A = this chain, B = another copy of it.
């Protein structure tokens, strides 16, 4: 966890915020939002909103009343209390890449496996720059589809002692995640008192929350586990090719999802989510690390603060196929604005490649180095008379040159990717599994075995 005490870089005028505010109000009240789960529509109907099938037209004031119930800041516990985090305020919390079906290891790009999932979890455990391995750090394609969520949660619980993200593929998967979290943390009451997971609920943009995600959201909100309500916007595909229009749509989607969360369980923790980039308007392919996404990111932070909500944006996003110059600069083109915006929960902080299709081992290391540098850069200078005295050499040592990983940047003779590959091997070799009580481990294993059998895998 990093406390970002540097100034926020805000680029929206009060007038611009007012225009965007008017915009989402018009969308939710005139067009409405689709909630593809009858229980969701029913909650809105009971609360006096206008429901037509699964489309809900929302009174903006009602939405804001619900949003006001969400806590501005909250804690998430890890099984190692040293790794507990606080979401909101000037805190920044970082998780690794999420959702990639492929991995890249050096020159090889291939299907991700459970072994990759475990190795990437171990790497996430190894680096203090990450507060969480995240959730689906890659998709373990060699594990049976119906039960692989159990394998993933078990790996995150046992190979790391950091908090982890819950599975959101279905309601039952979410329930399994919660059950396993109860086992690890000593029961439902313990995790309802202080959440132990964060889960990603993506909007099926434009303007649609779909059934499987909503099923998962209902489980998590009911258990007081925070969800990140995230409009999934690639401008030119899921939203207009206009940053203001996309920001407006993002507000309509995120705030409506947050309102639902507060109907499920008033006061439950939520995070204003943003995943905002654009497609290439000539090929239609997704682009990351674009200037437009950087601008959107800065605006998103300002808007989330305007509505009093912790927020998620950013990460080491890029469209490159290899861990080359493009991968590096597109990633930093996203990560540096992430720090300028003071993002509270940063997914995809390490390992993202090829538009998120790939979890890359070498890129993971490069991203860790970027995070390390940015933490130094966003630590305020303390300047007083003493800092100018002779002998002030002890003052604020040059962190960038005394702590870099294995001094890999200075080794020369190989390019950065080859050196990163060496670091991966070394870190995996040095990895030590965090200790876990045997009875808890046994209970987790029993649960996984039983559920796997029930699921027929």
A418 to B16, CA, bound (A): 42
Structural contact, B325 and A392, CB atoms closer than 8 A? no
Interface-side segment among A108-116, A156-164, A166-174, A408-416: A408-416
Interface-side segment among A138-146, A224-232, A279-287: A279-287
Least CB separation from A13: chain B residue: B383
From A235, A326, A340, residue with most partner B Cβ within 10 Å: A326
A199 to B287, CA, bound (A): 40
A400 to B290, CA, bound (A): 6
Structural contact, A245 and B388, CB atoms closer than 8 A? yes
From A16, A376, A387, A392, residue with most partner B Cβ within 10 Å: A387
Count of residues in A whose CB is under 8 Å from the partner chain: 84
A9-26 CB contact bits vs B (8 Å, 1 = yes)?
111110110011011000
Judge if A71 is at the interface, Cβ distance under 8 Å.
Answer: no
Judge if A244 is at the interface, Cβ distance under 8 Å.
Answer: yes
Least CB separation from A385: chain B residue: B19
Judge if A405 is at the interface, Cβ distance under 8 Å.
Answer: no
From A299, A366, A373, A402, residue with most partner B Cβ within 10 Å: A373
Contact of A19 among B294, B295, B383, B393 (CB under 8 A): B383
Least CB separation from A243: chain B residue: B381
Collect the chain B residues with CB atoms within 8 Å of residue A248's CB.
388
Structural contact, B340 and A381, CB atoms closer than 8 A? no
A164 to B97, CA, bound (A): 46
Judge if A189 is at the interface, Cβ distance under 8 Å.
Answer: no
Structural contact, B10 and A395, CB atoms closer than 8 A? no
Contact of A282 among B291, B407, B412 (CB under 8 A): B407
A176-202 CB contact bits vs B (8 Å, 1 = yes)?
000000000000000000000000000
A320 to B244, CA, bound (A): 38
Collect the chain B residues with CB atoms within 8 Å of residue A415's CB.
322, 324-326
A400 to B318, CA, bound (A): 13
Judge if A442 is at the interface, Cβ distance under 8 Å.
Answer: no
Structural contact, B332 and A283, CB atoms closer than 8 A? no
Judge if A7 is at the interface, Cβ distance under 8 Å.
Answer: yes
- Tell me the smallest distance from the CB of A236 to a CB of chain B, in Å: 7
Structural contact, B388 and A19, CB atoms closer than 8 A? yes
Collect the chain B residues with CB atoms within 8 Å of residue A91's CB.
none
Collect the chain B residues with CB atoms within 8 Å of residue A401's CB.
278-282, 287, 290
Least CB separation from A296: chain B residue: B381
A299 to B172, CA, bound (A): 53
Can you pick out 6 interface pairs between chain A and chain B where the beta carbons lie within 8 Å of each other? Answer: A9-B340, A19-B383, A244-B395, A280-B401, A281-B402, A333-B336
